[in-house]
């Protein structure tokens, strides 16, 4: 056989495919795909416009980062004089559609002749639209806030940038980029926003799988203190979730770290100091195996978790905290992760941490407070002695 014949066949097939693809594009280009969103109530998808071919079936595909496979639904439609009208109302509380999700959707049309056309995909963010969000987008941090205060957006942006730096130093490498941050005017508004989308708080936390930071600032007077707590805390959870989506991290480490980066742990330090003085601290083994679920014991366990992280940072540096995270992510258990990272048994670490918490003896703290004056006093006695001898 002439060796050109197979090439000719391939060329012919390619041209034919190209023509079919061109026709498909031409068929769908004239169609208008749109979406109308009423947050928490209804999401209406529409496809309208002229199309020559007789349509037999239309499917709508909806996808978010959270879903393993796109949601697909058969769509009702009408076709009069080659004008197509198709629409679908989606229940916005479906678990596949979390609040603030980035949604991708597209349509697939099947003709009576068995051909399939795909209308190019489009995107939207399923954002809480009950507020007129203001926007500050700089680098890859995007702050959304409400109200008349310009300073609030800037404040939240600065705190988010600071928190990111803090976490970069003590966590294994991870990034949430772009980082979308919504500052709600009240906790009730925030929770209503979640509930409208079929979610709620759990233990005063938004689901880190949402991939956005949702916080509250009621007024500018308290905003700074509130946001300096909530932004680093929630960002820590968000990044830990990115690192370990299946939640294999020990609880003391995960919650302890989120509290640790708030840098406002005076009350927790007092709690630990009292427990040390009363000899009622919990063992590290308890933090690992039997973390108290509620009450004052839980508060103490959280305070000790923060204290242990602070101790590791002070004794072994930021690098040890990063290493601890990496070891936990590699699948080490709670106790093994600590002893592998610090090269200490859990009992040894417990003893060393406890020793570091013990209050200084009275003479030592007197000396550290008054050392310079004592030294001056001794020096002046020495000088006086010298003068008197002459
Ligand atoms: Zn937390």
Question: For the domain that residue 223 is a member of, what is the CATH number?
Answer: 3.40.30.160
3-state SS string for 207-226: CHHHCCEEEECCCHHHHHHH
Is 68 within 8 Å of 113 (Cβ atoms)? no
Pairwise CA distance, residues 203 & 47, whole Å: 42
Q: For residue 122, give Cα distances in angstroms to 33, 71, 98, 100, 168.
A: 8, 15, 18, 16, 34
Residue 389 lies in a domain: no
Residue 157 lies in a domain: yes
Instruction: Tell me which residue range forms the domain holding 354.
Output: 256-380
Q: For residue 6, give Cα distances in angstroms to 9, 90, 346.
A: 5, 50, 72
Last residue of a domain, one of 243, 274, 304: 243
Is there a single domain that holds both residue 269 and residue 371? yes
**What is the CA(132)–ligand 1 centre distance, in A?**
28
**What is the CA(348)–ligand 1 centre distance, in A?**
28
**What is the CA(255)–ligand 1 centre distance, in A?**
5
Is there a single domain that holds both residue 261 and residue 376? yes
Sign of CA dihedral 326, 327, 331, 333: negative
**What is the CA(266)–ligand 1 centre distance, in A?**
17
**What is the CA(386)–ligand 1 centre distance, in A?**
64
Q: What are the CB-based long-range contacts (under 8 Å, 24+) for 81-86?
A: 82/50, 82/51, 82/52, 83/48, 83/49, 83/50, 84/31, 84/47, 84/48, 84/49, 84/50, 84/51, 84/55, 85/46, 85/47, 85/48, 86/46, 86/47, 86/48, 86/58
**What is the CA(312)–ligand 1 centre distance, in A?**
20
**What is the CA(215)–ligand 1 centre distance, in A?**
13
Q: pLDDT at position 16, please?
A: 47
**What is the CA(76)–ligand 1 centre distance, in A?**
45
Is there a single domain that holds both residue 372 and residue 276? yes
Is there a single domain that holds both residue 233 and residue 117? no
3-state SS string for 45-88: EEEEEECCCCEEEEEEEEEECCCCCCEEEECEEEEECCEEEEEE
Instruction: Please report which helix (H) or strand (E) contains residue 380, including its range.
Output: helix 362-389
Is there a single domain that holds both residue 92 and residue 194? no
Number of structural domains (the chain) is 3
Coil/strand/helix, residue 348: helix
**What is the CA(261)–ligand 1 centre distance, in A?**
11
Residue 100 lies in a domain: yes
Q: pLDDT at position 126, please?
A: 92
Last residue of a domain, one of 80, 96, 125: 125
**What is the CA(163)–ligand 1 centre distance, in A?**
15
Is there a single domain that holds both residue 74 and residue 108? yes
**What is the CA(205)–ligand 1 centre distance, in A?**
6
Residue 251 lies in a domain: no
**Cβ burial, residue 294 (10 Å; 0-12/13-18/19+):** exposed
Residue 250 lies in a domain: no
**What is the CA(367)–ligand 1 centre distance, in A?**
40
Is there a single domain that holds both residue 281 and residue 308? yes
**What is the CA(42)–ligand 1 centre distance, in A?**
32
**What is the CA(291)–ligand 1 centre distance, in A?**
14
Q: How far is CA 146 from the centre of its chain?
A: 21
Instruction: Please report which helix (H) or strand (E) contains residue 358, including its range.
Output: none
Residue 387 lies in a domain: no
On average, the pLDDT of the chain sits at 88
Determine if residue 49 is left, alpha or beta; phi over 0 gives left, psi from -120 to 50 gives alpha, anything else beta: left
Is there a single domain that holds both residue 96 and residue 200? no
Residues of the chain scoring pLDDT < 70: 1-27, 360-372, 374, 390
**What is the CA(269)–ligand 1 centre distance, in A?**
18
Is there a single domain that holds both residue 111 and residue 46? yes
Is there a single domain that holds both residue 283 and residue 219? no
**What is the CA(236)–ligand 1 centre distance, in A?**
8
């Amino acid at each position: 056989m002439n060796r050109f014949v197979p090439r000719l066949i391939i060329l012919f097939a390619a041209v034919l495919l190209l023509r079919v693809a061109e026709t498909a594009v031409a068929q769908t280009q004239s169609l208008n795909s749109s979406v109308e969103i009423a947050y928490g109530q209804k999401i209406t998808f529409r496809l309208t416009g002229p199309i020559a071919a007789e349509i037999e079936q239309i499917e709508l595909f909806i996808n978010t980062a959270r879903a393993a496979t796109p949601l697909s639904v058969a769509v009702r439609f009408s076709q009069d004089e080659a004008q197509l009208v198709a629409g679908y109302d989606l229940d916005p509380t479906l678990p596949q559609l979390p609040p603030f999700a980035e949604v991708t959707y597209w349509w697939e049309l099947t003709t009576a002749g068995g051909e399939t056309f795909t209308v190019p995909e489009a995107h939207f963010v399923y954002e809480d639209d009950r507020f007129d969000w203001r926007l500050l987008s700089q680098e890859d941090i995007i702050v959304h806030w409400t109200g008349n205060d310009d300073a609030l957006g800037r404040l939240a942006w600065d705190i988010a940038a600071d928190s990111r730096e803090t976490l970069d130093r003590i966590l294994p490498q991870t990034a949430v980029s772009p980082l979308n941050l919504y500052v709600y005017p009240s906790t009730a508004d925030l929770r209503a926003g979640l509930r409208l989308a079929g979610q709620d708080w759990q233990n005063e936390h938004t689901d880190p799988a949402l991939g956005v930071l949702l916080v509250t600032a009621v007024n500018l007077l308290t905003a700074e203190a509130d946001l300096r707590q909530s932004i680093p805390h929630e960002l820590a959870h968000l990044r830990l979730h990115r690192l370990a989506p299946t939640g294999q991290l020990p609880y003391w480490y995960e919650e302890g770290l989120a509290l640790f980066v708030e840098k406002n742990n005076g009350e927790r330090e007092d709690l630990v100091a009292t427990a040390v003085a009363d000899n009622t601290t919990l063992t590290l083994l308890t933090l690992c195996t039997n973390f108290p679920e509620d009450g004052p014991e839980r508060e103490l366990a959280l305070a000790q978790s923060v204290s242990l992280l602070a101790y590791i940072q002070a004794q072994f540096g930021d690098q040890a905290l990063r290493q601890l995270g990496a070891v936990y992510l590699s699948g080490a258990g709670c106790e093994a992760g600590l002893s592998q990272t610090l090269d200490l048994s859990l009992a040894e670490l417990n003893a060393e941490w406890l020793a570091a918490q013990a209050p200084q003896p009275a003479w030592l703290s007197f000396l550290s407070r008054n050392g310079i004056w004592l030294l001056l006093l001794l020096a002046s006695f020495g000088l006086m002695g010298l003068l008197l001898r002459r």
